[in-house]
A and B are shown apart, each in its own frame.
Chain A
Amino acid sequence: MFERPPDPPIIGIVRRETRRAVTPMPDSATSPQAAVTVRLVYLARLRDAFGASGESFAVAGDPPTVATLLAALRARGGAWSEELAGGRAVRVAVNHELVPAASVLAHGDEVALLPPVTGG
């Protein structure tokens, strides 16, 4: 019998290790070497406000985080600065998990911006 190595701790590792291979995206004009390209998803009210259901976006920052992403989107002005202003209750999900603003983003992440939920 082979000695089976102990399972790695689950928390914080699954998301990175299960990520599928990502086709490289063309570098955005705004991206320094640290930028990663993520797939943004806009839901419900935010989709209406931004006039799109999502886009591919190069997030800069060292490291690129949810916070640097939101700051870059806010810098577009208009509906972006309005909807993503501090105090507006927008949550962020990375690959279907709610994450805090300090979360580091990786190439190919699906990053969804969620207004407050109203189901039930």
Chain B
Amino acid sequence: MTVRVQTADFDVAREIAALRAGDARVGAVASFIGTVRDVNDAVAVSTMTLEHYPGMTEKSLEAIVAEARARFDILDALVIHRVGALQPTDQIVLVAVTSAHRGDAFDACRFVMDYLKTRAPFWKKEATADGARWVDARVSDDAAAARWERDAQGPESGQAT
């Protein structure tokens, strides 16, 4: 189980090869790669800057991967998330999961991404022709993470209400 936060790009083929190297139990590898789009909410984006909360970020990603391991029958998992200034088409995030069979690999990969989107402390700031703006969280992301909830205990605690 590996979690990395880095400014450098990553080589998907190399990362996946390393993840499953020498493990003959692996029969399935599922991966997700998030990339920078040039348009968000109908506005052209020239640069996207990703900021995070060092210390908490790694901890929260590790907790998400541990949760995936508890829920699904997986052999290994890798999360790489980039920070800093990125351009359209750049890779942002890689989640890769190995398992004996495809079902757990697919499910665990999607689970990690859905939780990462709503729980890991990353924030995107977009540079547009009208200036820089912080990207708003999407309700659809909360709904995607909520699908995995087994109980009422969620990330809603600590609201400023």
Q: Which residues of A does B touch, CB under 8 Å?
A: 41, 43-45, 48, 66, 70, 84-93, 96-101, 103, 112, 114-120
Contacts and interface: CB of A to CB of B under 8 A. Distances in A.
A120 B113 contact: yes
27 contacts: A43-B51, A43-B53, A43-B123, A44-B125, A44-B134, A45-B134, A48-B134, A70-B160, A88-B160, A89-B137, A89-B159, A89-B160, A91-B155, A91-B157, A93-B158, A96-B56, A97-B56, A97-B59, A101-B157, A101-B158, A112-B53, A117-B117, A117-B118, A117-B122, A118-B137, A120-B116, A120-B120
A87 B124 CA distance: 22
A96 to B, nearest CB: 4
Contacts of B120: 117, 119-120
Given A90-B158, A100-B158, 12 more contacts: A45-B134, A91-B158, A96-B53, A96-B55, A96-B56, A98-B157, A98-B158, A101-B159, A101-B161, A117-B117, A119-B116, A119-B123
Contacts of A92: 158, 160
Contacts of A91: 155, 157-159
State the majority secondary structure of interface residues on B. mixed
Highest count of chain A CB atoms <10 Å: which of B52, B123, B137, B160: B160
B81 interface: yes
Interface string B132-146: 001111000000000
B157 A100 contact: yes
Nearest to B92: A120
A90 B123 contact: no
B31 to A, nearest CB: 14
Contacts of A118: 117, 122-124, 134-137
Nearest to A88: B160
Q: Interface residues of B toward A: which range?
A: 20 to 34
Contact of A117 (B93, B137, B159, B160): B137
A99 to B, nearest CB: 5
A25 to B, nearest CB: 21
B97 to A, nearest CB: 15
B160 A85 contact: yes
Given A89-B137, A118-B122, A119-B81, A41 B157 contact: no
Contacts of A112: 53, 56
Contact of A44 (B34, B123, B155): B123
A44 B118 CA distance: 15
Contact of A96 (B59, B81, B123): B59
A84 B159 CA distance: 9
Contacts of B55: 96
